[in-house]
Amino acid sequence: MREGTGRPVFSGVAIGRAYVYRHQQAELPGSCGDAAAEQKKFDEARETARAQLTELFEKTKREIGEEQAMILDVQMMMLDDLDYLEGVQDMIAGGASAAQAAHETGDAFSAAFAAMDDAYMQARSVDVKDMATRLVNILCGGKTGFSMEEPGILVAEDLTPSETVQLPKDKILAFVTRQGSSNSHTAILARIMNIPSLVQAQITLDDELDGKMMIVDGFEGRYYIEPDEATQAAMEKKRDEAQAYRQQLEAYRGKPTVSKSGRKLKLFANIGNPDDVKYVLEGDAEGVGLLRSEFLYLGRDNFPTEEELFEAYRKVVEGLQGRPVVIRTLDIGADKQVDYFGLEHEENPALGYRGIRICLTREDIFRPQLRAIYRASAFGPVCIMFPMIISVDEVRRIKAFCETIKAELAAEGVAFGEVELGIMIETPAAAVLSRELAKEVQFFSVGTNDLTQYTLAIDRQNAKLDEFYDPHHPAVLALLRMIAENAHAEGIWCGICGELGADLSLTETFLEMGYDELSVSPGRVLELRKKVCESEV
């Protein structure tokens, strides 16, 4: 028996045969004397790649959701990157073949992205390499795709975005990759598919591994190859217990979320786009506590119109069948960049021009979004939440603008409903000023991810700082208590929409602090409800 470790990205136990996934390596032709002919080949390959990616985009959107499909849209935009195209053209003019130029220019650009300090730009390194590899395969007749004869565990060096969306998802029991991170495409897909998976695994990808029996323990972050009888029996028992636990959670479907002492809590879900509403209903969430509006702006080459935004919001509101939705206004910036916004490069984008700072200085962006949200409120209960607040003045400016929007719609005879206004508390400034801010709004929702990184002065995207990043830090917990107390002192409700909301070790702490609502991934709702119902707090 061989065993090793990796970073778990989704819990559970998977048992099956290993399938080693290897990238197809095309045979690269060297130099070529006819530059015009090679340039023509490259241009034709680009159009073929664009058609392939468009087809994959639609397939991914149908099967997984629009948010995940956007990774392919990014690659389609990269096919038109002028710097990349000029680099290829220069190499071909110098005598290189089209495939060689596409490959080497892609490698150079990928390395340049990987060397950047910004985590978002580093992540684009994989997209560039994936796009270039596709072009090379088209030019050289290389094969793409992967098949599995029976359900099993996929083991790979890493998986590119387009590879993950083409995989036979109905047969994959788990992922194990040597590279990747908790925010990689592989990790995101694993969480969507609810399968145990490991990234950054200490494993050797040799041919002998292919077909061998393998076990992945997503609880402990371990894998076993050709397990002995004792390990096999122990892991089968652990897997059966995990499945039985999930079945037990069904007993809490439809139940009120109330502790034994009578403390009532609302359990909402975080989503990224209208297609995710089905997961809200499947997870038995009581509403949506965070709709991330920025995903309606990603993967495009121009701003969505008011009508497009309205249709997306209306689809969510109607799909929730009377459940409330809290829509966060645009939070572009930091780790979410969009070229057509024309934002300048920043040395520290997490502390830069992002969130409400863009909206308050770009009425052309803010106005259509607010009009669309208010229009959607005519179809069901809607709240609006504003991100990255640091002052009372900002909130008053926002409220005044909302009144202007409402007056416009009323004058036009456009229907809209009653909309609660709230703010995200994710900066230490907002936490400290929470008593004053509570006088201006109707609710708070704490973004614990950013609140933690700003309080501890630690970049949460930097893996080197994982040992220092502590969301349970006494300073963070002290701010969380202060926020809830100040909200209630002014008679407004207060929730948590960050990752910490799903931390079962803190559920009773949040109950004791007095939080009214927790908004988490849809798949965590029943587990959290069980924890609350069993609590003595």
CB 20 within 8 A of CB 207: yes
Residue 72 vs residues 296, 319, 429: alpha-carbon distances, Å: 15, 26, 38
In 3D space, the residue among 377, 383, 358 whose CA is nearest the CA of residue 445 turns out to be 383
Catalytic-residue membership of 497: yes
- Positive or negative, the Cα torsion across 437, 441, 443, 446? negative
Sign of CA dihedral 387, 393, 397, 400: positive
Q: Provide CB contacts within 8 A for 375, sequence distance 6+.
A: 310, 313, 314, 409, 414, 415, 416
Instruction: Establish whether 23 is a catalytic residue.
Output: no
Specify the pLDDT at position 152: 94
d(CA 128, CA 132): 6
> With contact defined as beta carbons under 8 Å apart, do 67 and 273 qualify?
yes
Q: What is the pLDDT along the chain (537 residues), one digit of tens a residue?
A: 999 999 898 889 999 999 988 765 556 676 666 888 889 999 999 999 998 888 878 877 776 666 667 767 778 888 888 889 999 999 988 888 888 899 899 989 888 877 776 666 666 777 788 888 888 888 886 555 566 878 999 999 887 655 665 677 778 999 999 987 765 667 766 766 678 999 989 998 887 898 999 999 999 999 999 999 999 999 999 999 999 998 999 999 999 999 999 999 999 998 877 888 988 998 999 999 999 887 788 767 789 999 999 999 999 999 999 999 999 999 876 555 567 787 777 778 778 888 899 999 999 999 999 999 999 999 999 999 999 999 999 999 999 999 999 999 999 999 999 999 999 999 999 999 999 999 999 999 999 989 999 999 998 767 678 789 899 999 999 999 999 999 999 999 999 998 799 899 999 999 999 999 999 988 889 999 999 999 999
Per annotation, catalytic residue among 103, 140, 185, 359: 185
Q: Which position among 359, 383, 494, 497 bears the catalytic label?
A: 497
Structural domains present in the chain: 2-23+145-248 (3.50.30.10), 35-140 (1.10.274.10), 253-534 (3.20.20.60)
The residues, any chain, with a CB within 8 Å of residue 82's CB and separated by 6 or more, are none
- Widest Cα–Cα separation across the chain: 82
- Please, are residues 516 and 266 in contact by the beta-carbon 8 Å criterion? yes
Residue 417: both structure tokens together: 């409903």
pTM metric for this prediction: 0.71
**Distance in angstroms (rounded) separating the CA atoms of residues 184 and 413:** 46
Q: In what order do the strands lie in the sheet with 152-156?
A: 2-5, 222-225, 213-217, 13-21, 152-156, 172-177, 197-199, 7-10
